[in-house]
Structure 1
Amino acid sequence: MTELSSRTGRRPGRRPGRRPVRSAARTVTSAGLLSALLVGGVQAPAQASGATRAASAPCAEQGRVEVFRKGGVPLLDWRENLEFDGRGTLWVTHLMEHRVEGYAPDGTLRASFPLNGPGGIERGPDGMMYVNYGANPLTSVLTGGGVVRFDPTAAEPKPEKFADGLSGINGLAVDADGNFYLSRELSAGIIKIRPDGTRDEAWTRAADLFGTNGLEIVGDQLYSTSIIDATSSIVRTPLNNPAGRTTIARLTPNLLDSKVLDGLTSFDGDLLVVGFRSGELIRVDPATGRSCVLVSGLHMPSSVRVPRGFGDHDPRRELFVAETSGRIVKVTV
C-alpha cells in the first residue's frame, strides 16, 4: 500500500462512538517470510501506549462486496496497490507482472505501462501520480528502488524518475506540502523525501519504526501498519514530531492469530485497514482504537482506497480494494 491521502467528510448521524468502528505479505516473496506471515506474523509488540487490544467483532453495518475486476492465479496475479487520479481513472500496481494499469469507471483497461516491481501509488498535490518501484525484492537487487511520477492525463503515460537509491520500500503517502513518506517492511525508519527529491535524513532517523507497511496521512498525522507485528498494531506519528508516535490500536489479542495488516485509508472520520492474512476490511476509530470488521472473506487484500472523481462511484459510500489474488473489488457501505 498503501496511501495524496484519502479524506472524506463525515456524514451526519454516522458517528460510531457508541459502536465498534471501522494495505500482503506485500512485497515479500521469500518463501520463509511469507510462510511466517500466513501463520501469524513474526514480531512481538513494540512500544506500549495503552492502545485498545481486541478481536474485532462484525460491524453493525456490514459492507457489500462486488467484483470490479476478476483475478487470476493468486500471488502470480498480485495487484499490490491502487489510487484514483480524480480525473476518471483508477491506477493499479501489478507487482509480479511489473506494470501499472489504468482502469475506467466501467472496469475496462484504459492504459498500461511497464515498471519494475511497482508498489505504493499516490496522487500528489501537483496532480501527478507517484509510484514506488523496486518493491519486489527478487528484481530490485538488479534495478534498485525509488519513486517515479507520471501524468495521468497523457494519452500514453510515461514514468519519469523522481527519486532513486531507495531499497526495500513499499508503501507511499504524500502530505499537503508535497513531502513523500515511504515505508520499509524489513528496515527501520520511514523515509521522508522533500518535494525537490532530497531526503530528510533527520526525520527518517526519528521515525525509527521497524517494518512499516501501509501508510495514510490524515491532517498532520501519519498512520502506519506493520506486516511483521503479530499484534496487528496501528501507529500514529505526528508529521512535525516523528519521535512522538503512539500506538492507537492493537487488533490481535492472540499473538498466534495476527491479521497481518497492510494498506489503510481514511473514510467517514475512521480508518479502514485491510488484513492480508485474515481477509478482512476493518474499521477503526483513531480516537478510541475501537474496531469492527466491515467485510470478511476477502482474498488476501493488500490496499483500500476511496473513489474520487471516478464516474458515478460514490466516495461517501464506496471503497475499492486490491487483492493479491488479482481481484479488484468494490465495497459499498
Structure 2
Amino acid sequence: MRTLRRPGSLLWPAALLALACTAPIAAADPGAVAQPVAACAPAQAATLVPAAIPVLDWSENVGYDAQGNLWVSRLYRNVVQRYDRSGALTATVPVEFPGAVRSGPDGLLYVVYGDSPTSAVRPGGVVRFDPVAADPKPEVFVSGFTMPNGATFDAAGDLYVATMAGVVRVRPDGGIDTAWTEQAAVNGANGVVAQGRTLYVTANGSALGRIVRLAIDDPSAQTVVAGLSSPLPGLPDFADDLLVDADGILYVTTLGGQLVQVDPITGSTCAVLTGQPLTSVVATPGRPGELLAGTEGGAVLRVQLPR
C-alpha cells in the first residue's frame, strides 16, 4: 500500500470516500466499476507476529526466503526484519521505505525500496542481499522508480516491479527492458504477481480497486478482471497486494480490511476475511491453505483458509 495513508488516522472510510471522489471511474470500462464482494466461508486468523508499537510497526509486505524464514517490511521503521518459523526475530536489515520482499532465483532476497511519495525527488528501486548472512548488507540492484511497491519474478528470472506509472521489467543483469515497460503502463499499479506468462496487477489509478490482467508477451494487452467494493455500500475499495494459488485463484488484500478471493476466469469475488486494513499476503511454504497477511497496525496474521 502506498504511503498516502498516514499512520494513526484510522479513518480509512474517509480516505476511501476522498479517493473515490477524486478518481473518476470510466463508464466505458465495465470492469472498472466496483462490484459487490460476496461473503463466503470465513477464514480463521490469528496473530503470528504481534506489533511492538501499533502503526509504527506497519507491516508493508511479507515474504519468505529460500530457507523458509519470514521477512517483514517495516515501512515506517525503514527496515526489513527476519523471523524464524516460531515468529522469533532473528535479523534486522536497514532499507529505506521498504516494499515487496521476494526471494530471487539466485537465492538472494530482493527488496523494493522508496515506497514513499518522496521517491518523486529521491527515486526508489530494488536492493538485494544474502538472507542467511549473519549481518546482511543490502546493495542496489536497480533504481530510478517512482513509488515502487509490489514485485514478482517470472519463470525466466525477470523481475517485475509495480510503480505508480505501471509495471517495470528488470532483466536478471539489472538492466531495464525499456520497450516492454513502455507498453505496461497501469495507472496506480500497486501489487503484482506472475502466473505463467500472465501478470495480475492491483491498480488504484483512474478507478480504485481494480485487478488487471497483463500478458507478459504483449504487455499492452490488458483486461480488467474485477473491481472491488469496500464494506461501505456503494464505495470501491483500495486493492493492495495479491497472490495466486496453485489453482489459479487470486487472493487480494485491501485498505477496507478485506482478504478477497477472486476467480480470474469469471471475475467473481468473495471476501474470506474482514477486519483491519491488510497490506500484503503470502502463502506459507509447505502448508496448503495457509497464508500470512501484513497489516497497517503492524501485526502479521496467520490465515487458515476454509476447506
- TM-score w.r.t. length of structure 1: 0.82
Superposition RMSD in Å: 2.5
Cα pair distance change 1:228/1:52, threshold 3 Å: closer
Structure 2 partner of 1:308:
285
**How far apart are 1:74 and its partner, in Å?**
4.4
Cα pair distance change 1:122/1:167, threshold 3 Å: same
The answer to whether the aligner puts 1:108 opposite 2:85 as a matched pair is no
**How far apart are 1:77 and its partner, in Å?**
2.1
Indicate the SS of the match to 2:220.
coil
**How far apart are 1:252 and its partner, in Å?**
2.6
Structure 1 partner of 2:76:
96
* 8 A contact 1:49–1:248 mirrored in 2: no
Q: What is the aligned counterpart of 1:48 among 5, 29, 36?
A: 29
* 8 A contact 2:148–2:161 mirrored in 1: yes
Indicate the SS of the match to 1:177.
coil
Q: In structure 2, what is the Cα distance between the partners aligned to 1:214 and 1:132?
A: 12
Q: In structure 1, what is the Cα distance between the partners aligned to 2:210 and 2:37?
A: 13
Give the letter aligned to residue 68 of structure 1.
L
Cα pair distance change 1:308/1:231, threshold 3 Å: same
Give the letter aligned to residue 279 of structure 1.
G
Indicate the SS of the match to 2:110.
strand
Structure 2 partner of 1:28:
4
Alignment of 1:1-333 (within 5 A): 24=1, 26-28=2-4, 37-39=15-17, 40-41=19-20, 42-45=22-25, 48=29, 54-59=35-40, 61-138=41-118, 140=119, 143-185=122-164, 188-228=165-205, 230-252=207-229, 257-267=235-245, 268-276=247-255, 278-297=256-275, 299-308=276-285, 314=287, 316-333=288-305
Q: Which structure has more RCO (C-alpha within 8 Å, separation ≥ 6)?
A: 1
Identical amino acids, percent of aligned pairs: 37
**How far apart are 1:35 and its partner, in Å?**
8.5
Indicate the SS of the match to 1:213.
strand
Deviation per CA, 1:144-173: give whole Å up to 9, x if none: 311111111222221111112223211111
Structure 2 partner of 1:4:
none
Q: In structure 2, what is the Cα distance between the partners aligned to 1:35 and 1:318?
A: 29
Give the letter aligned to residue 271 of structure 2.
V
* 8 A contact 1:56–1:291 mirrored in 2: yes
Give the letter aligned to residue 203 of structure 1.
W
Q: In structure 1, what is the Cα distance between the partners aligned to 2:218 and 2:304?
A: 36
**How far apart are 1:269 and its partner, in Å?**
2.6
Give the number of equivalent residue pairs: 297
* 8 A contact 2:31–2:227 mirrored in 1: no
Unpaired segments ≥5 residues, structure 1: 1-23
Q: In structure 1, what is the Cα distance between the partners aligned to 2:233 and 2:169?
A: 31
Unpaired segments ≥5 residues, structure 2: none
**How far apart are 1:179 and its partner, in Å?**
1.2
